[in-house]
Chains A and B, each alone.
Chain A
Amino acid sequence: MNNVATEIVLKDATTSLAEYEAAGGYAALAQARALTPEQVTDELITSELRGRGGAFFPTGRKWSFVPPKNTLPKPHYLVVNADESEPGSFKDNEILSRVPHRFIEGCLITAHAIDCTNVFVYIRGEYSGPYEILVGALEELRDRKDIRGDVTIVVHRGAGAYICGEETALLESLEGKRGQPRSKPPFPAISGLYASPTVVNNVETIATVPPIIAMGGAEFAKLGVENTRGTRVVSISGNVVNGGNYEIEAGMSLRDIIYDLGGGIPDGRTLKAVVPGGSSTVILTKDEIDVGYDFESLAKLQTSMGSAGIVVLDDRCCIVQLGIRFSEFYEHESCGKCTPCREGTRWLTAILRKLEDGRAGEHELDLLLDVCDRINGKCLCPLGDSDAIIVASYVAKFRDEFVAHIEEGGCPFGGASSLDHVLAPVAMHTHSPVAEVPA
């Protein structure tokens, strides 16, 4: 494994159409259009690309589920999930801002592969910067029918709900309804947007499509490791020297990501724990970071790459406080549709706050775990499950610290916590400096 970024998605960063074309941009589109849709899909299947939104579903297979129009005479839709809002993740922001045309090229190739002419990009409302860039890039294509073909790309801005990153809630929201997940099946590939066959893909997935077509699926599949082919754009944040987005070859060691790319822990502190793939992934202790950053290696530790938001925590971090911040987030973002998530996330936060304040007894730690257990696996979508899984993982891996809160009658870290510079408390989500979204 190397310790330098392997750029195929983020390479030749430019927002200008001319520069992008000069660097060979939109050549993959022409290549793809020379193929039949089935051939493009086959190329994706060969590439073994898996969805970059967090669920890792094989992209080519997802495309192949779309029923042909002669068996189901309905329009097909491509919906791109750009509602990136998981604490710790900001890779899609980078992709849209730096390589908008690669992303658009991906949309057009995918549209060709699934026989669709309508693409909707559902972008997080607060992402005004990437939105402007993306719209600017689309504007450049206005007179380029040769590139656009018959495809219309609509950029739709979300209204600030994390749940609208869940594909079916996103579709509901896009249809103008309350953003709440649908019960599956039917899956979007059969009945998605406007009850028509719909492919929902993440921004990074779509931006990875042009390089796959350009280099060929087989060549792409040589990158990375078994079950995680190609590259990933990871967002490194928290107590690291060089936070930011890096494109890595899948399988790179997490230690290398933190210490080589991230530059290690600042202020002479030591590593305590790592959230490996955004808030909803099981935490790793400092002893668990010698692991390949790929699907299978992380699965062995019961965690995952998720949305690739790597949050590095140093030894000043209180894990109970971390639990409160994340749990508050899930409570705040729960859509309110299903009972365990709506009520359970709120309850979890309450118990965690009590623990942090030193008002909790030993039995409340058991209650906390029991509530996690009662949420997990009973919700309509993964949001509530995520909160339960991560809180339970904090207790499992840092039980002594929870017990210390009980025994010492309060937080052993006192008021000092490194979290303020790592994760914004929920109160700040609602008073965001970018809350004033231009119309």
Chain B
Amino acid sequence: MSSPELVTVTIDERTVQVAKGTGMVETAAAAGIEIPVFCYEPRLGAPVGACRMCLVEVEGMPKLQAGCTLSAQDGMIVRTARSSPKAAEGQNSTLEFILVNHPLDCPVCDKGGECPLQDLTFRYGPGNTRMTFPKRTFEKPIPISPLIALDRERCILCYRCTRFSESVAEDGQLVAINRGAQSVIATFEDEPYRGHFSGNVTELCPVGALTSTQYRFEARPWEIQDVPTVCGLCPVGCNINATTREGKVKRILSRNHPQVDEGWLCDKGRFAFVHLHARDRITAPLRKAGPRRFEALDWDEALDLVEEALRRGGHSTLTTLSGSESVEEAYALAKLLRRGLDANAAVLPEEVPDALDAFRAPLSSLRDAKTIAVVSDTPVVERAPVVDLWLKAARRAGAAISYGSPDGRVDALVTDDPEIAASVEATNVYFLPLTPNGRGVADAWSAAGDGEPVDVKPRVLVISGDEEALDPAVRAVATEAEVVIGIGLFEASFRGIADLVLPGTSYLERDGTTINLEGRLQRQRRAVLAPVPDVLAWLSKLGARFGVEISPYSSVEFEEISARCFGGISYGDVGPQASLPPRAEHQPKTQKLETGSLRESVSASGGGLRLVAYKPLFSGPAVERTPELQFQRPAGEVQLARADALERKIRNGQTVTVSSNGTALELRARIARDLAAGTVRIAVDDAGDLHAVVEVKA
């Protein structure tokens, strides 16, 4: 690629060289000069020049120009408010106009103290008001969804939210209605704003017009601390700030990692943190005290009982891991079991071929791809939501996206099937794991020992993680085991199957690392103290009883596993904005892991359709414990490929009967264009007792 033509621009007497066509806001920033903005947000597409906050004077142009819509041309001479009284007056005017109808209720506004309108008014605005008329009023606040409150009086109509809805999330649900001074943001016919990414508008809003209902009146900016960490709810690993006040997480904000998430979060990552305070949160070790009941134990007693159980299980102990553990937790647990008991049998959450590391690329490269193939039974947005935004960005940039196996070589492949990942010719491969840290957990397990699993019936089962405890396949094994030890967050997940439960910690309560779908090692930081001791703390104590040295500090455990798996980088090196390791050249260190034995694989045969029962994004233990997210849970629907729908004369939205071997369900049909013919999708919770091959009738 040829290097872009450089041009010289003079801004406030400072000369700066930038690539031709660079936006003036960025050009000024390169010269160390701020051009204040409200509506300008490059992530939302082309600038619109609506708010007029960025007015600058350009030599040779009689009128003030909107800086956001200007681009750098050679020899341009620009003056901002710093050196041009005219520009300063223009910006002051804009703020005066904005404030004419703004309620100025900053003392009770959630945005107060971290509000761009406040900040820019202090720096560029008028000190007093000349408005002597009643302000425009609207009904407020309007809950545009259970998650988001809209205050139309505070709104300055920058159209960031509607542009996000239209051209980033592409859900088209937020719009402006009415005209002129009566323009307001609205949803169609007051339907709730449903979508995987709706919460982003609360962060885009430069005033307190769109606020999170969870955060409403919860904290002021001077009382809070933002802890930079990484979301642990899906394999994307979006970078986040956890806002905490007095030891509690109050909200989750994005923390733009331009290669991973570009500052977007899905609603699960943003809003599901309230699971930390769930009523059935396990706060002490538990022992089964009845078919559906547990009793609390003190820690010494609990460790004694766990030790006793593990000794009973010995090398016939089977471990199932959920993939929500940190690398260090998984490594420590693996050391305890593999080195302490020689219990090498495990059901790992994923099988991620190391060979994929040779096709590793940052998610942001997806946007630059010209040809993309998506081969995924699960909708991408349900498994790795932000990847869907990258795909949409790629399509807007002109990429051709094909669903199903591509004809030839593609720039990028997005798939949930490791075998396909290995067979398709693609420059970059993005494998979508099922679990947030499945790769890290698999690495940790294999690094902790090299003994072979024995082929005996497991006597003791260790279930790590709530998702695992809820998995019917795991539950089936649990009924066969003599003792079941659970590690998790919520009592309900383990009720009826576990004999002993040790409390787990959430990703927001622990220090550790995770590996996302790109293969990027990222650091999670403890945002708040868990209501229970750290997992590593009690694993360390248990380890001592089996002669295995386990540190209660994740940094120490990390150093140990890093030497084996991550090229020996130090804990500190992971940093707040982790980089992607270079592509692997080495041959994958193949180690046969016993995986997937509990998961059945199905293939369609005969005339039926292959049923894919997928886990929707808005499902699982954390979502179930977030009341505000319930409206986002998908209504019972069956997704069909267009060809299958046509063949059966099924229309979009029609109620259909899905049946297999005597079981029949009524579901609403939706035609999904990313689905290959011959396959139908139903959310796992809606699939009931349906078998692997189903028939769908109108």
**Taking beta carbons and an 8 Å cutoff, which residues of A are in contact with B?**
161, 163, 178, 183, 331-347, 350, 354, 367, 374-375, 377-380
Contact = CB atoms under 8 A, between A and B. Distances in A.
A343 B69 contact: no
Given A161-B179, A378-B90, A340 B101 contact: no
Contacts of A183: 47-49, 66, 69
A354 B131 CA distance: 12
B31 interface: no
A339 B94 contact: yes
Contact of B98 (A331, A343, A345, A380): A343
Given A342-B181, A347-B131, A380-B50, A336 B157 contact: yes
B100 interface: yes
Most B Cβ at <10 Å: residue of A335, A337, A367 = A337
Contacts of A342: 97, 157, 180-181, 183
A378 B87 CA distance: 10
Interface string B647-675: 00000000000000000000000000000
A340 B66 contact: no
Given A183-B49, A342-B181, A346-B136, 4 more contacts: A332-B179, A338-B52, A339-B98, A340-B93
A161 B179 CA distance: 9
B100 A332 contact: no
A377 B65 CA distance: 9
B597 to A, nearest CB: 54
Given A178-B176, A183-B66, A346 B48 contact: no
What bracket does the count of chain B residues touching chain A fall in? Answer: 35 or more
Chain B interface secondary structure, helix, strand, loop or mixed?
loop
Given A342-B181, A343-B181, A378-B64, A367 B130 contact: yes
B539 to A, nearest CB: 58
A342 to B, nearest CB: 5
B66 A336 contact: no
The 4 residue pairs across chains A and B that have the minimum distance between CB atoms: A336-B183, A334-B180, A374-B93, A343-B97
Given A334-B179, A336-B181, A367-B130, A347 B50 contact: no
A335 B175 CA distance: 14
Contacts of B98: 339, 343
B80 to A, nearest CB: 15
Interface string B408-437: 000000000000000000000000000000
B487 interface: no
Interface of B: 47-53, 55, 62-64, 66, 69, 89-90, 93-94, 96-98, 100-101, 130-133, 136, 156-157, 159, 175-176, 178-183
B52 A343 contact: no
A374 B95 CA distance: 11
Contacts of B89: 374
Contacts of B132: 354
Contacts of A334: 179-181
Nearest to A185: B69
Contacts of A340: 52, 93-94, 97
B50 A337 contact: yes
Contacts of A343: 97-98, 100-101, 181
A333 B179 contact: yes
Given A350-B133, A374-B97, A380 B179 contact: no
Contact of B97 (A178, A331, A344, A354): A344
B97 A379 contact: no
22 contacts: A161-B179, A163-B179, A183-B47, A183-B69, A331-B181, A334-B179, A337-B50, A338-B50, A339-B52, A339-B53, A339-B157, A340-B52, A340-B93, A340-B94, A340-B97, A343-B100, A346-B100, A354-B133, A375-B93, A377-B63, A378-B94, A380-B52
A334 B181 CA distance: 7
B132 to A, nearest CB: 8
A375 B156 CA distance: 17
A380 B66 contact: yes
A55 to B, nearest CB: 15
Contacts of B176: 178, 336
Contacts of B69: 183
A183 B47 CA distance: 8
